[in-house]
Structure formats: C-alpha cells, structure tokens
Structure 1
Amino acid sequence: MTVTVPLAALLLAGAAALALPQAALAQSSAAPGAKLEQVATFPHQVTGVTVAEDGRVFVNFPRWTEDAPVSVAEVAKDGSITPYPNAEWNAWRNARKDEMSPGDHFVCVQSVVADGRGNLWVLDPAAPAQAFIVPQGPKLVRIDLKTNAVAQTIAFDETAAPQGSYLNDVRFSADGRHAFITDSGAKGALLVVDLESGKARRVLDGHPSTQVEKGVVVTADGQPVRRPDGRGVEFSADGIALSKDATQLYWQAIKGRTLYRIPTETLVTAGLNGEDVSSKVERFSENGVSDGLLIGRESGHMYVSAVEEDAVKIRDLEAGPTGEPTILVKDARLRWPDTFGEGPDGAIYVTTSHIQDSAYFKPGAPAALPTELWRITFEPKAKPVN
C-alpha cells in the first residue's frame, strides 16, 4: 500500500491548529552553505527518521494522539510512504488489540535506526498515548534490508521496560553487538542490550542524569508548553548519540539543558553485569532544551534539535565542554525538530513532530496531526568536517 497525501490537503487539515503569523513565516536563516529543503509531508505525527547506507529513507509514526494506520514506513523520492516491512506488521489498531499479538505487530513505535550493516532496527515502547504499556509489546525489531523481512525480535520484559517507562531512541556499538537505549518515561534510565542473547539491563535508573531537571520549563513560541491541566513537557532521558569513535555515549532529557556522557566500555561491561555505573557519568556541557541528537559519521560534530527556537544547532565536540551549539538552520516551519538521520552523502534529515501543536497541549488540534520531513544539505566547502 502506498499512501500519497497532497500538501494542500495537509495544510487544510491542520490550518486551525498550526497557523503561524506571517512575520514568523518570514523568519528563516542558515549558516553559510547550508540549505533547508522539505522532503515529505505526512498526515500523522512523525517522530523518527533514519537513512540506510543505500539511501533508503524510513520514518515512524507513534500512536500518541491517534490510532495511526501506519507505524513504520519507507519514504519514496516523491514523498509518498509505504508501510514497512509489510502491512501485517503495521496492522495493529487500538480498537483491535484483543485480536492481534503485540509481539509480532508494531504497537507504538518511537524510533527507527539503520545500523549501517544492512539492518533497520525498530524500537517499540508499546505504550500508546505514552501511557499504559501493552503487555508483551515492548521490543526491538531487526529488519533485513535485503529481504525486507523481520530477522530478529528482542522482547523486553518488565525488568527492562516496567510500567511507566517509554523506550525512546537507540544507538549501536561499533562492533554491532550492543544497543544503547534511552527511557524518557516517568523514571528515566538507559538500557544496555546484548543483541545476540537479547539480555537487557537498565542502568542509571532514577539517576539525576536521566531525569527531568528541576526549574526547567519548556517553551515554544515564547510561551510555556502546558496541557490544560497545567502539566508541562515532562520527558526524561531522550536524545542519544554515539561519538565518532564510538567510545562515548551522550544523552540528555528533553526537560533539561544538560548533556551527559559515559564510556561505552563501561556500559557493555559493568553496566550489562548489573553494576552501578553512576561514578562514570560525566556532566559534559549544556545544549539547552533539546529532543534529538546526532553525531555525524564524518565530521564528529553533534547536531542538536533546538525545539524552543525552531532550529537545528551544531556543536564541535572537539572544542570540549566550553564549546557551544551554534545555529545551523533556523526556520519557523521547524515546529519541534525531533529526530535526525544522516544520508550516505552527508545530508542531515530531521523530522518536525509539532509536539507543541498536538492535542496534548492544544485540545482543538486535529488528532491526526500533519507533520514534515526535512533535509539539510551542504555545499562542498560548507560541509562541516574536522
């Protein structure tokens, strides 16, 4: 099944909730040589994006405010989407949950990541509306990109994904043997997963580095982002990135400004063995409020989603903790830049999930919230390299 949605229809569907002042629409800027272009528009709330080594682009749609008809999709060059790897894996519906086994269907997918080894990994926290976890639903699914078939499913039990958790994003060790996952739920944590055995261990569970930061209020359009009952954005450990040499894992909470890191060796040895690794956590620097993180394969620079500023920033990690993120692109259409992917040509893809425009925070917003996929390209001399 291929789903193609005209841009005009999307604009009409979300016009009331997503209307921007004309002055805001004119606010757009980019670093020299960087160019922002729209790749696709979607009729549903998108979060994750990834690009495989052959250039194929994949996205995912979590069941946050609607019972989305597609969870994981491949994006064609014309912007249309096709459920991936097939319709059956995408057939779960909240209304039919008693008819479908959660272990072999996507329940509420939060992220997709291509590992550069011919696989697409799908992280499913299985918590529609970020609420109650569907039993036997949390999982990490590996899809073989050559056969377009599921090759492995790692199920997470309640010790790895207890009620209240929300597995958010994932990165993979350089040797392809381990996965590192952030949990942005009520009690933040990291997960370390042995991909061969399926063994998973929660680490830094409740540690200050994985929790929301006190005193931080997430804003958008210059105003606090709050639900009608006064609750704000409360996401814990979320953005995650692996250093260019794969020796350091970075992360931060959305409701937070601080960027932390820990040696990956510590996670795959002491962490996976159940030991306390808190002494190895380093408070690296501050990014400001951010959702997605990505460290470029070639440059080693960190891309930062500046959700409060409708911007994507970049920071030179070699500058150390004193270096600060600077604006790469800023555009009023970047409504909550969410997740990054890097193409084989070095282009940076970013989704805009419009969290501040969703029915959580704007009761009059459509349940099926229109969102977008963007690409940042660089002129040859402008491409950030060391």
Structure 2
Amino acid sequence: MSKLNLLVLGIFLAACNNGQTTKTTTDSVATSPAVPELEQVFADSAYQLTGVAVAKDGRLFTNYPYWGDKHGYSVVEVVNGKPVPYPDSAWNSFHKGEDGQNKFVCVQSVVADDQGFLWVVDAAGIGLGPVYQGANKLLKINLATNQVDKIYHFPETVAGKDSYLNDIRIDNEHGFAYMTTSTNGGIVVLNIKTGESRLVLHDHYSVQSDKAYHFELNGRQMTVNSDGIALTADQQWLYYKPLTDDKLYRINTSLLRNFKTSMKTLQDSVKDLGRFVTTDGMICDTAGNLYLGDLEKSAIVKITPDLQMHYIAQDKKQLLWPDSYSISADGYLYISCSQITYSPVLPYKIFRLKL
C-alpha cells in the first residue's frame, strides 16, 4: 500500500490504547493435510482489490475501493484472466466532482446470490472519508442480462455521511439483506422487497472492537468495528464481529427481520460465542461451517457448528490480509487478499482452496 493509502487508511483505522497485550504474528499453525495448496485465480498489479464473488455458473467478480489517488474501475468481471468493467464502462467512469448517484464511487464489496444476481455495496466513502454527496447505495445486478435491476438508497438515520457500509449477506427466502457499517459500528437491515431499512445494534458492544484487545500488524496498531458478516444456509443465524479483536457473535435473523423488534430486545438477544481470531470477511457453507481469515497468522480457519476451530491453510507470503470470501458451486473457497497494512507486494491476488 502506498504512503498515501496508508495516510488515507488512518482516517478509518484509529490507533489503539497503549499498555494492552499485543498479539504476535510469528506463530505457525497446524493445518489439515487434506486441504490443497492455494491456487491463484486472478492477479492485478494496477489497483488494490477487496471483494470477491463467484456466481453459480462460475463467473468471477471483484471490486476496487476508491482509497487512494489512483483509481480506474470499481467493479470488474474476470474474463480470461483480465479485469473487464462490470456491468459496463459507464458505471465505472466516476471522477471526483461528478454526480455519483448513477456511477460507482467507492465500492467496498460484491456478493453473488443464489438467484442469479450480483449485489454491489457502494460505501461512497472516497479515501474512507465521509459519504460523497449522499451517493452510498446498494445495487442489485441481473447476471443474465448484465443490467442493474434495482438501486437501494438509505436515509441519513440508517447510513448517514459518517457511515462506511462494508460487507453484505442476502436472504432471498425472506427478502432481506444485512450489511455491516464499520466506522460507527452497527448492522443495517434492508427489506429488499420494500426498500425499508433500519440500523440496529449501533454502539452495542458486539459491534465495537474490544478495547482490551491490542491489534497490531506490521507495526501498525488499529481499531476497526463491525466488519465481517455471514449468514447460515438456513437463513436463521447472522454471524458478525468487529475486525480488530477475536470475539465472535451471532443473532437470530427472525428478530432482525421484524422491524417492530425493540432495540433493547435485539441487544439482549446477541449471543457471545467466545474468542477465536481476528478476521476481515467470513462466510458460511451449506453444512454450517464458518470460514474466516486469521489476519495475524496469514491463515484460513474453519469453525464447525459446535464452535470447534481448525486451521486449514497458512501462507505468510501469499495470504496477506485475507479479506473477502466466496464459495463456488464446485466447492472452492475463493479468497481475496487486499494487503491492508502491507507495503504492496504486487500484484494483488485472489486465490482459491478446495474445501
């Protein structure tokens, strides 16, 4: 990451307090011999990527947030190993000073759902700063037609100028989407049928990084609130956690889907699952296993439904800040590596592991 990007990142990653126990990154971990080596599937030397999404038919997508002074495209489909602006060049043509309502401004994540749609979270926080001209939004793109199907906007009380929308999970069965907001901490619940939304668990301890946990990587101390999010295959549980501590939480989605559920009831219903690893993104498979990246050990872990944690891969040269995840129909875990807190080891890469 360039010096400029590191400066920009400082807007988002506040320094931790001194005098806390520091977690080290030197430990090696025992991994399962049944898991193959990392397989590189995409590399880009031009821009820093964060998200990854694999559609049911195997199409691969990634995104590039507008964090530094150099920015070319926001969302691409990987075609024959090359990034092709998606859904078209017009959506990827934003320049500062322009209206960002119908262009990508600062895309943080992409997710392919089970119904043939790509969901794009545009946090619109250039350089991780305030939302640009109210342009934060969520796009639903039809992968069959490559056309934008719907654009969702949010009221100031849900995702205002100081909100940085991060990751997303989609429940098409009930018609809801769940997003984390990382700057102020919280979960945005969106009814994708009506467009109604609300911010829940704002300032609750489960969306705030534990101040007793001292996260330091490559000499940089930081604090990031709610980030990773995962939805079980039966749509009943939403897992989430702050980025810069090792706590993990979950909540029953039936409570989130009912907008009449009081904030106090939601807060009282959060399940504290204990301490595991620091991670950026995470994802559930159909068997109920949860996959996360251990940022401090450059590793991938699996947490089984009975909350047993297993390391399945480690590579200190390749897994440089494993960021986002997608599971393909043929059983591969796709992993994007955004290299946050690292000096750029070009190119930025996406890998996959056979599960």
TM above 0.5, one fold? yes
The aligned residue for residue 227 of structure 2 is 238
Among candidates 28, 36, 39, match of residue 37 of structure 1 = 39
Aligned-pair distance for 1:371?
A: 1.1
The aligned residue for residue 61 of structure 1 is 64
The aligned residue for residue 329 of structure 1 is 313
CA contact (8 A) 1:270 1:276 kept: no
The aligned residue for residue 19 of structure 1 is none
Answer yes or no: is 1:197 the counterpart of 2:194: yes
The aligned residue for residue 327 of structure 2 is 342
After TM superposition, the score normalised by the length of structure 1 is: 0.80
Q: Which residue type is aligned with residue 33 of structure 2?
A: P
Query: C-alpha separation between the residues in 2 aligned to 1:90 and 1:262?
Result: 36
Among candidates 145, 148, 151, match of residue 150 of structure 1 = 148
Q: Which runs of 5+ in 2 are unaligned?
A: 1-24
Aligned-pair distance for 1:305?
A: 0.8
The aligned residue for residue 84 of structure 1 is 86
Relative to 1, partners in 2 of residues 1:32 and 1:271: Cα closer, same or farther, differing over 3 Å?
Answer: farther
Among candidates 336, 350, 354, match of residue 373 of structure 1 = 350
Query: C-alpha separation between the residues in 2 aligned to 1:303 and 1:199?
Result: 30
Q: Which residue type is aligned with residue 339 of structure 2?
A: H
Aligned-pair distance for 1:204?
A: 0.4
Aligned-pair distance for 1:163?
A: 2.6
Query: C-alpha separation between the residues in 1 aligned to 2:324 and 2:162?
Result: 22
Aligned-pair distance for 1:37?
A: 0.6
CA contact (8 A) 1:29 1:331 kept: no
Query: C-alpha separation between the residues in 2 aligned to 1:48 and 1:308?
Result: 19
Match of 2:255, SS state, is helix
Match of 2:107, SS state, is coil
Answer yes or no: is 1:49 the counterpart of 2:26: no
Equivalent positions of 1:45-194 (< 5 A) are 45-76=48-79, 78-93=80-95, 97-98=96-97, 100-175=98-173, 177-185=175-183, 187-194=184-191
Relative to 1, partners in 2 of residues 1:345 and 1:271: Cα closer, same or farther, differing over 3 Å?
Answer: farther
Aligned-pair distance for 1:28?
A: 9.8
Query: C-alpha separation between the residues in 1 aligned to 2:261 and 2:73?
Result: 34
Query: C-alpha separation between the residues in 2 aligned to 1:334 and 1:312?
Result: 9
Answer yes or no: is 1:251 the counterpart of 2:255: no
Query: C-alpha separation between the residues in 2 aligned to 1:203 and 1:347?
Result: 33
Q: When you count helix as a share of all residues, which structure comes out higher?
A: 1
CA contact (8 A) 1:251 1:260 kept: yes
Q: Which runs of 5+ in 1 are unaligned?
A: 1-23, 226-231, 359-364, 379-386
CA contact (8 A) 2:51 2:325 kept: yes
After TM superposition, the score normalised by the length of structure 2 is: 0.87
Aligned-pair distance for 1:45?
A: 1.0
1:131-158 deviation line (CA, Å, top 9, x unaligned): 1211221100010001101110001231
Q: Which residue type is aligned with residue 341 of structure 1?
A: S
Match of 2:288, SS state, is coil
Q: Which residue type is aligned with residue 199 of structure 1?
A: E
Aligned-pair distance for 1:272?
A: 7.0
Query: C-alpha separation between the residues in 2 aligned to 1:162 and 1:115?
Result: 26
Answer yes or no: is 1:295 the counterpart of 2:323: no
Match of 1:357, SS state, is coil
Query: C-alpha separation between the residues in 2 aligned to 1:287 and 1:240?
Result: 15
CA contact (8 A) 2:166 2:182 kept: yes
Percent identity for Structure 1 against Structure 2: 34
